[in-house]
Structure 1
Amino acid sequence: MIPIVTPAEMAKIDAAAPEGTDVLVSRAGAAVAIEARRMMGGTYGRRVLVAAGKGNNGADGRVAATALERWGVRCRIVMPTEALELVAAANAAPGASAPWDLVIDAAYGTGLRGSWGADRPPPVPVLAADIPSGIDALTGEDYDCWPATSTITFGAFKPGLLLHPGAAAAGEVQLAPIGLDTSGATSWLVTDADADAALRGPEPTAHKWRRAVRVIAGSPQMRGAGHLVCAAAQQAGAGMVVISSPGLRAADVARPAEAVARDLRPGNWAEASLEGIERFDAAVIGPGIGTDPTASAQIARFISECPVPLVVDADALSAVGDHPECLGARTAPTVLTPHDGEFARLTGGPPAADRFDAVRQAAGALGVIVLLKGPTTLVSVPPSESGSSTVLAVTSGTERLATAGSGDVLSGVIAAVLSGEVAGLDLDNISTGVAAAAHWHGRTASIATVGGVTGSMPLLASAQVDLLEAARAELTDASADRKRP
């Protein structure tokens, strides 16, 4: 996994480095120069404008310029205010050829929280050193920056490179390991190889009840929700899936042909849904059930009495908001999967701008694993006895997944992953599996489907289910490529 640290944490890491600042700046500047050369497709005769501030970020830019000049690049190093003036002049002459091939943003980096006047981008590609100046390194808020084509960040990712709008402004982000010890990071970015390692296949002695998932989802008004959960769980490895939809007879429950349905009549249905629950390895409750008081009370009872790993999603999250005591009764691992609106109902307010801290605080307050959905999905466990808790970030998904039913698919995938062997695992390892499930689901958005070209239109939830197998294969291929010498 790739470490993620806040600006305050990075300052402590810098201070503890065995090498001096000059050595670290030299390595950082060299990494910027190498990326600049790649972006320009060469060096001789190329022209680069370097916006270099007074701090270490500016020093990185000046070292990069020195290296580029040795390679034949004509560099102009200026202070940030002059860089803004030069860019404004270049933008005022749209018909003229650009005066540079590249602009290096080493103006302020993580040292700025606020605007520096970069309201109009240069007419050429921008390479940012560490983070685009004007992007809050903690929250990703944009106080006016030059959007970068590429960003070289040093030692570890910063949250602002992963949280939007900062993630979009950073372009392609690459990590330059410059000799800093980031092993103590408490936040990590999940990669394809990480997800592949965490996703376990069935053992040789597996049978259909070895990875059994119980689904309580759907209703007369929302039949499709349960179908999507079941289909996703089956495609993600569940051997047996049994579904009940409150208010529907078994014959009327929407489900894949391979899933089994059981009656769940209106009223006191929690007791019936818990019959034989010990035979299952994981469960899902919530999608499409409804939020009326009767349903809410029944959901809360199921949550409190269900003895197996449980995914709590959609309408069940509203029930937790109404009956928070139901979580305290649980002994098996529990995963809540809110989007921002559901997060507000659970915690009393929307996620703070520092989403990493927000999900960490929610996991601690609720005492369960919390998966906060978004363009960057965050997974946190409650604090350990030492007071620390890990947050895992997932960035594999795209806006293509912003379709109805996408969350139902994710819940099914998580449940299937939880139905693997989790007995004896600590919450950190379980949360790694949850994050791997989210990463796997997110990768369906980037599968090449027609003529080897990845689609750009919204991806229907049913199509996401169909692409899970191909996405899983791509994770395995990426992991194998990483291991090859």
Structure 2
Amino acid sequence: MQPILTPKEKAAVDAAAPETIEELIDRAGRAVARVALEMLGGSYGRIVRVIVGKGNNGNDGRVAAHILRSRGVNVEVIDAAVSPAVLPAADLVIDAAYGTGFNGTWNAPDVGTSPVLAVDIPSGVDALTGTISGSIIAADRTVTFQALAPGLLFTAGAQHAGTIDVADIGLNVSAATCHLVDGADVEAWWPKRPLDAHKWQGAVRVVAGSDGMTGAAALAAEAAARAGAGLVKLSVPGLMIVCRPEIVQTPLLAEDWSAEVLAEADRFGSLAIGPGLGRGHRTLQSVRACVASAPQPVVVDGDGLFALAHAEGGAASLLARRRHPTVLTPHDGEFRDLTGSLPGPDRISAARELAAHLGSTVLLKGPTTVVANPVGAALVVDHGDERLATAGSGDVLTGIIAAGLARGLEPLRSAAAAAWLHAEAGVLLPRRGMLAGDLVSTLPTVLAGVLSSQ
């Protein structure tokens, strides 16, 4: 996992370092010079323009400029405060104007088609949120130090940072409570099946779907099965639906079905509830009863979140009755149902605050997904893209999370690993014409690739 630090946390890490600030600037500048030389593909006679501000970010750029000059590069250092509106063409522009502590607006010069290397973060990007004000220079690569800033992973910051290099300059970031998840993490976390496994190890119960929304139920159930659940039992209240024959279906009453679900709940490793269930009064009552009393980890999505949000006394009061882990998977609209407002630009804080308030693990969906648990640990997944923005995609994610929970993976990692696997399935599929069902059928390929060493 790659640590993620807010600007305040990064400043505290810098202040706690035993090295002098001059030593840290020298290390950072040398790291910038190394990446610059890689991008240049040589040194002698190359032209580099370094835009520098008055702070430490600018000092990093000045050190890099000195090193590049010593290697035969023709370097021009430009003061960001008085830079011309248009820069002449160069083999590389190094943006060392402003770093993670910047507040304000910068009107960046036009660098034309020159390749750009940003130092720490593209100047003008808010390091906490990824938002921008004024104009910025889009980077082809960004070199940052020891830890990622959230602004490199969200909204405009993610779109303008290019390829990100995290350089080790010897800072201690072991106290970080937020991390970026990658495939190696998922490989290490996702549960292995023992040689003597049987189908009831990792069994998943799914209660989902309604008239006109049966696809949500099928997608969630089939995703759980594809993600490794030994057995999946599905109920669509009042209906029997068409789905894969490997999915066990059992009928439920159309209303007031919570007692039926809870009667056999202890046979299952997890319960997935909510996708496509509908919002009838008695359906919502049944959802609340199941969530409050289920004797296993529960993942709640879709109409299940609506049921919690509109529970008497609120979601927090109902969830306080639970004695087992809960994972909630809101998109922004469902987040608003639960809190009364949309998440702010600091999405990591938004997820953490909701998780603490509800005593649950919260997966806040978005182009960059944030998972937070009630004690403040957070994991970020930035692996997916626009292919996941399709009907039923969230139902697939619910099923994958349920499979991880059923096999004993703790909620924070189960949700984050599921988000990464879900995203990887999208990455392997065509950019046009992908449907949520394609994610389900691609999961075995994803798991085979990620878990190859198992």
Instruction: Please give the TM-score of this superposition, normalised by the length of structure 2.
Output: 0.96
**How far off its partner does 1:326 sit?**
2.5
- Counterpart of 2:427 in structure 1: which amino acid? S
Give the match for residue 473 of structure 1: 448
Whether the 8 Å CA contact 1:230–1:256 is kept in 2: the answer is no
Whether the 8 Å CA contact 2:129–2:154 is kept in 1: the answer is yes
Helix, strand or coil for the counterpart of 2:72?
A: coil
**How far off its partner does 1:69 sit?**
1.4
1:266 and 2:241 equivalent? no
Question: Percent identity over the alignment?
Answer: 46
**How far off its partner does 1:292 sit?**
2.4
Helix, strand or coil for the counterpart of 1:109?
A: coil
Q: 2: CA distance between counterparts of 1:399 and 1:216?
A: 28
Helix, strand or coil for the counterpart of 2:171?
A: coil
For structure 1, which segment, 115-124 or 57-66, has the greater mean C-alpha deviation from structure 2 after superposition? 115-124
Q: 1: CA distance between counterparts of 2:83 and 2:424?
A: 39
Cα gap change, 1:121/1:468 in structure 2, threshold over 3 Å: closer, same or farther? farther
- Residues 35-46 of structure 1: pairs in structure 2 closer than 5 A: 35-46=35-46
Q: 2: CA distance between counterparts of 1:115 and 1:459?
A: 40
Give the match for residue 407 of structure 1: 394
Q: 1: CA distance between counterparts of 2:158 and 2:254?
A: 46
For structure 1, which segment, 372-381 or 107-116, has the greater mean C-alpha deviation from structure 2 after superposition? 107-116
Q: 1: CA distance between counterparts of 2:22 and 2:433?
A: 48
1:10-50 Cα offsets, whole Å, 9 max, x none, are 11110111111111111111111111111122222211110
1:459 and 2:434 equivalent? yes
Whether the 8 Å CA contact 2:85–2:110 is kept in 1: the answer is no
- Counterpart of 1:457 in structure 2: which amino acid? R
Helix, strand or coil for the counterpart of 2:271?
A: strand
Give the match for residue 392 of structure 1: 379
Whether the 8 Å CA contact 1:403–1:461 is kept in 2: the answer is yes
1:434 and 2:402 equivalent? no
Whether the 8 Å CA contact 1:399–1:458 is kept in 2: the answer is no
Give the match for residue 328 of structure 1: 320
**How far off its partner does 1:265 sit?**
2.1
1:276-311 Cα offsets, whole Å, 9 max, x none, are 111001110011111222221111111111111110
**How far off its partner does 1:445 sit?**
2.1
Give the match for residue 205 of structure 2: 214
- Residues 61-460 of structure 1: pairs in structure 2 closer than 5 A: 61-87=61-87, 90=88, 99-118=89-108, 120=110, 122-143=112-133, 144-248=135-239, 252-323=240-311, 324=315, 325-383=317-375, 389-422=376-409, 429-447=410-428, 455-457=430-432, 459-460=434-435
- Counterpart of 1:180 in structure 2: which amino acid? L
1:14 and 2:14 equivalent? yes
1:53-85 Cα offsets, whole Å, 9 max, x none, are 111000111111111112221110011134342
Q: 2: CA distance between counterparts of 1:13 and 1:241?
A: 47
**How far off its partner does 1:475 sit?**
2.2
Whether the 8 Å CA contact 2:86–2:110 is kept in 1: the answer is no
Instruction: Please give the TM-score of this superposition, normalised by the length of structure 1.
Output: 0.90
Cα gap change, 1:105/1:366 in structure 2, threshold over 3 Å: closer, same or farther? same
Q: 2: CA distance between counterparts of 1:137 and 1:216?
A: 41
**How far off its partner does 1:434 sit?**
2.0
**How far off its partner does 1:186 sit?**
1.2
Give the match for residue 2 of structure 1: 2
Whether the 8 Å CA contact 2:84–2:109 is kept in 1: the answer is no
**How far off its partner does 1:430 sit?**
3.2
Cα gap change, 1:53/1:419 in structure 2, threshold over 3 Å: closer, same or farther? same
- Matched residues, number: 449
Q: 2: CA distance between counterparts of 1:285 and 1:109?
A: 44
Q: 2: CA distance between counterparts of 1:150 and 1:64?
A: 15
Q: 2: CA distance between counterparts of 1:22 and 1:369?
A: 42
Whether the 8 Å CA contact 2:213–2:276 is kept in 1: the answer is yes
Q: 2: CA distance between counterparts of 1:125 and 1:57?
A: 19
Q: 2: CA distance between counterparts of 1:476 and 1:246?
A: 36
